[in-house]
Amino acid sequence: MFKRIYAIFRARNLEFLRDRGTLSWNIVLPIALMLGLSFIFSGDRPQYTVGILQQEAEIDLNAHPFLQTRYIEFVAIADEASGLRKVARHQLDLLVSYASPPRYWVNPDSPKGYFAELALLQAETTAQIMKSSIEGEAVRYVDWVLPGILAMNMMFSCLFGVGYVVVRYRKNGFLKRLRATPLRAIEFVIAQVASRLVLILGITVFVYAGTAWFLDTRMDGSYLALFAVALLGCITLISLGLLVAARVTSEELAGGLLNLATWPMMMLSGVWYSLESTSDWLRQFANVFPLTHILAAARSIMLDGSSLADVAPQLLVLALMSAVFLSIAAGIFRWRAN
């Protein structure tokens, strides 16, 4: 069994490495995106962002004078510890609680926090509001978006590199010829997962090392924990690609289904922007995508210094998704085009 798996694993690796266009694209695209975004978003955010500490998702802008201030985006923060961490990292310019007694938190090293505090004190002239200071280093947009770009590159490489290729194999009769050998469906699936896993992890590590060295991106956690997230994330995305391609016989249909899977993940999983200011139902819906859990775990490790134990819930979800996707893909796998 292991000889058969290794034969397919080696053949798929050679096929990918000899396709210089695809190999170059997987390396050049994320690097080009990072360099472009580091230049475009090198300045501060275009507006002030103030967190309001409350359990309700909707903010009543008429409840207090400060909430009617123009040019300030108000977002609801349910967890105080999360809000304080965002103030320390300059992701929030101010955190305000109108519970009794009313108080606010500001980072004294944040220029925008200083002006947001002035606007608050001017608006709440008749209220007694307590002040607390939170210190911390700012998180650049480049630091925040790096996990998103790497995960997006992994997503496209895993889904199209496995799903589209398997459909092509089935359409041109390659799988039909493999069916005449002792190779079983589960062995073929394992070989495809292993091949794509080794290639994509190698490319991702190379790209991450290059961008981290060139842009001096932030890394507060463990590289081993980050690699574990990437490993499990890759397995989940490859399994999803195999599930899509398990029975499809048309390359056009495969491309449509893969785009149907990738574009919602790219838009709703927090690749380019945070979902904190969006509606609660949209944030809940985003949790059905594996990319959401990959990014949550990676950013927690890179920006907050979280350990594997801290991101265990995200890893458990990814492991369950992988098991379900692989089991279904192996069970419904079709060798022939008809």
Domains parsed from the chain with CATH numbers: 2-40+140-332 (no CATH), 48-133 (3.40.190)
The predicted structure's pLDDT at residue 42: 54
Give the helix/strand (H/E) hosting 40. Answer: helix 20-40
Per run of 10 residues, the mean pLDDT along the chain (length 338 residues) is: 70 66 59 59 63 86 86 86 83 87 86 87 74 69 82 84 76 75 76 81 86 81 91 90 78 75 81 71 85 91 87 93 87 70
The predicted structure's pLDDT at residue 17: 67
Asked if omega into 101 is within 30° of 0 (cis), the reply is: yes
Q: How far apart are the first and last CA of the chain?
A: 27
Give whole-number Cα distances, 248 to 16, 166, 238, 283, in Å.
Answer: 22, 9, 16, 31
The predicted structure's pLDDT at residue 96: 92
What is the DSSP annotation of 130-152? EEEE-------HHHHHHHHHHHH
Give the helix/strand (H/E) hosting 77. Answer: strand 72-77
Q: Which residue from 84, 78, 79 is spatially nearest to 58, judged by alpha carbons? A: 78
**Quick one: residue 90, left, alpha or beta (phi over 0 = left, psi -120 to 50 = alpha)?**
left
The predicted structure's pLDDT at residue 171: 74
- Measure the CA dihedral 47/48/54/60, to 10°: -60
The predicted structure's pLDDT at residue 118: 87
